[in-house]
């Protein structure tokens, strides 16, 4: 069980920040059990026109944070500003400026894609004379024009996620919140969604997305905020984060798994090894050591073992960053 803490912080200040989160805490009170702290002293700032990635494993507090930023949940403590507004106090005004693609897509499966969008456009007050053009535009953006007259119940998971993104774009929001936008979608839809997200940032929109896919954070987030158990683990640009962890690794491939096992026994004395897949071995290049000299030393050491069929260098990934700070992998 997490301990409960609330830290008072000074009011938000940065002018060009689209989103400011300062010392936010969220405590859930569940009947019959101890209070549960889902978010602990979370702080970050998102400049306008950037893609910001909140990366964390299941249950780490991503959706809770999104709910706070959308004014759906009042934080137990701390200060939040979105487009300069307090989300719980100024929610009506906020809804004119932001949009959310929730983790659960929540479409009306009996309606067509276009009808789903029309319903949403009316609900959110898109001017009646603009509705048709907006719908055509957002359908085009997500590549669903030719499926617009089909019921969404017949869409694939990826298409449903794309329609949910189109729906969020109807109101031309300044800030877009995407809660795991590509969870369970096919590669093609994922690529389409990533391209749209990048395009939105190029147009000056601010995008906060949550994910537990390393590749997604790597592909999109200019800044990545890693959380675990509701608290910050690390924050920075991808390059900064990777520079925080052990440097590159040498990956060796062996003709047979037994050879890799024997090599591991020898090499663990040189530098810690891991087994990325059967028959291969990954060895950390120690800090301050020249990579080629290290590789030569490694090959000398395992000369007697033999059977090396290939090698490559690998740079640290965000996965390594998470492992470094938490001692475990981001995903099982
Ligand atoms: N309304 C609530 N009442 C009580 N506990 C809650 C509530 N909402 C969330 N939690 C708990 O808070 C923690 C964080 O949940 P949250 O949904 O924010 O995680 P997440 O990072 O979005 O996870 P996932 O990747 O599975 O979507 C979890 O332990 C969850 O059970
Ligand atoms: Mg979630």
Which has more confidence, 21 or 316?
21
Pocket lining: 257 vs ligand 1, CB cutoff 6 Å: no
Ligand 1 atom 24: residue of nearest CA: 58
Contact present, 181 and 197 (Cβ < 8 Å) = yes
Q: What is the mean pLDDT of residues 207-231?
A: 89
Q: Tokens at residue 202, please?
A: 């190029």
Ligand 1 atom 29: residue of nearest CA: 59
Measured from the alpha carbon of residue 212, the closest ligand is 1
Q: How far is CA 72 from CA 65, 196, 226, 252, 317, in A?
A: 10, 26, 22, 50, 34
Percentage of the chain with pLDDT > 70? Answer: 94
- pLDDT classification of 14: cutoffs 50, 70, 90: very low
Which has more confidence, 11 or 27?
27
Q: Is the pLDDT of residue 16 over 80?
A: no
Pocket lining: 63 vs ligand 1, CB cutoff 6 Å: yes
Q: Ligand 1 centre from 215 Cα, in Å? A: 23
Q: Is the pLDDT of residue 51 over 50?
A: yes
Measured from the alpha carbon of residue 36, the closest ligand is 1
Of ligand 1's listed atoms, the one at least distance from the Cα of 73 is: 1
Of ligand 1's listed atoms, the one at least distance from the Cα of 30 is: 4
Pocket lining: 2 vs ligand 1, CB cutoff 6 Å: no
What letter does residue 207 receive in the DSSP assignment?
Answer: E
Pocket lining: 212 vs ligand 1, CB cutoff 6 Å: yes
Per-residue model confidence (pLDDT) at position 202: 92
Q: What is the mean pLDDT of residues 264-278?
A: 90
Pocket lining: 30 vs ligand 1, CB cutoff 6 Å: yes
Q: Mean pLDDT for the chain?
A: 88
Q: What is the mean pLDDT of residues 169-185?
A: 91
- pLDDT classification of 7: cutoffs 50, 70, 90: very low
- The span from the CA of 60 to the CA of 38, in Å, is 7
CATH 3.50.50.60 fits 17-241, yes or no: no
Q: What is the mean pLDDT of residues 294-316?
A: 88
What letter does residue 151 receive in the DSSP assignment?
Answer: B
Q: Is the pLDDT of residue 273 over 70?
A: yes
Q: What is the mean pLDDT of residues 286-294?
A: 84
Q: Is the pLDDT of residue 216 over 90?
A: no
Residue ranges covered by each domain of the chain: 17-241, 246-315
Pocket lining: 211 vs ligand 1, CB cutoff 6 Å: no
Q: What is the mean pLDDT of residues 70-77?
A: 95
- pLDDT classification of 9: cutoffs 50, 70, 90: very low
Pocket lining: 184 vs ligand 1, CB cutoff 6 Å: no
Q: Tokens at residue 160, please?
A: 């449903």
Pocket lining: 61 vs ligand 1, CB cutoff 6 Å: yes
Ligand 1 atom 31: residue of nearest CA: 59
Q: What is the mean pLDDT of residues 317-322?
A: 79
Q: What is the mean pLDDT of residues 261-283?
A: 91
Q: Ligand 1 centre from 229 Cα, in Å? A: 10
Ligand 1 atom 3: residue of nearest CA: 28
Q: Is the pLDDT of residue 62 over 60?
A: yes
Pocket lining: 36 vs ligand 1, CB cutoff 6 Å: yes
Per-residue model confidence (pLDDT) at position 3: 40
Contact present, 207 and 197 (Cβ < 8 Å) = yes
Of ligand 1's listed atoms, the one at least distance from the Cα of 26 is: 12
* Residue (of 224, 228, 308) closest to 264 by Cα position: 308
Ligand 1 atom 19: residue of nearest CA: 59
Q: Is the pLDDT of residue 4 over 50?
A: no
Q: Ligand 2 centre from 65 Cα, in Å? A: 9
Q: What is the mean pLDDT of residues 145-161?
A: 92
Per-residue model confidence (pLDDT) at position 8: 43
Q: CB-hemisphere CA count at 13 Å for 91?
A: 10
Per-residue model confidence (pLDDT) at position 32: 87
Per-residue model confidence (pLDDT) at position 15: 54
Q: Is the pLDDT of residue 331 over 70?
A: no
Per-residue model confidence (pLDDT) at position 13: 45
Q: What is the mean pLDDT of residues 100-128?
A: 90
Q: Please state whether beta strands 98-101 and 175-179 pair in parallel, antiparallel, or not at all (unpaired).
A: parallel
Q: Is the pLDDT of residue 100 over 80?
A: yes
* Residue (of 211, 201, 197) closest to 53 by Cα position: 211
- Measured at the CA of 330, the angle between CA 326 and CA 331, to 5 degrees, comes to 145
What is the third-level CATH fold of 246-315?
Alpha-Beta Plaits (3.30.70)
Indicate the SS3 state at residue 188: helix
Per-residue model confidence (pLDDT) at position 246: 64
């Amino acid at each position: 069980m997490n301990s409960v803490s609330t830290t008072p912080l000074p009011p938000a200040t940065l002018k060009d920040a689209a989103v400011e989160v300062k010392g936010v805490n969220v405590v859930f009170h569940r009947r019959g059990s101890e209070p549960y702290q889902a978010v602990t002293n979370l702080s970050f700032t998102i400049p306008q026109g950037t893609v910001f990635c909140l990366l964390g494993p299941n249950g780490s507090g991503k959706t809770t944070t999104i709910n706070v930023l959308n004014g759906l949940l009042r934080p137990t403590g701390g200060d939040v500003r979105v487009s300069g507004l307090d989300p719980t106090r100024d929610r009506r005004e906020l809804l004119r400026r932001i949009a959310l693609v929730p983790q659960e897509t929540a479409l009306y499966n009996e309606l067509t894609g276009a009808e789903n969008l029309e319903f949403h456009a009316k609900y959110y007050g898109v001017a009646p004379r603009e509705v048709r053009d907006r719908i055509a535009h957002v359908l085009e953006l997500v590549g669903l024009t030719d499926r617009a007259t089909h019921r969404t119940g017949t869409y694939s998971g990826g298409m449903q996620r794309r329609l949910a993104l189109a729906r969020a774009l109807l109101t031309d929001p300044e800030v877009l919140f995407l809660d795991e936008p590509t969870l369970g979608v096919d590669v093609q839809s994922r690529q389409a969604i990533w391209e749209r997200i990048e395009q939105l940032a190029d147009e000056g929109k601010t995008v906060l997305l949550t994910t537990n896919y390393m590749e997604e954070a790597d592909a999109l987030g200019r800044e990545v905020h890693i959380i675990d158990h509701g608290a910050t683990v690390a924050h920075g640009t991808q390059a900064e984060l990777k520079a925080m962890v052990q440097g590159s690794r040498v990956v060796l491939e062996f003709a047979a798994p037994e050879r890799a096992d024997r090599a591991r026994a020898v090499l663990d004395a040189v530098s810690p090894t891991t087994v990325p897949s059967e028959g291969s071995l990954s060895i950390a290049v120690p800090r301050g050591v020249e990579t080629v000299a290290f590789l030569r030393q490694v090959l000398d050491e395992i000369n007697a073992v033999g059977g090396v069929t290939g090698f490559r260098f690998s740079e640290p990934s965000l996965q390594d960053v998470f492992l470094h700070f938490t001692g475990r992998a981001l995903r099982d």
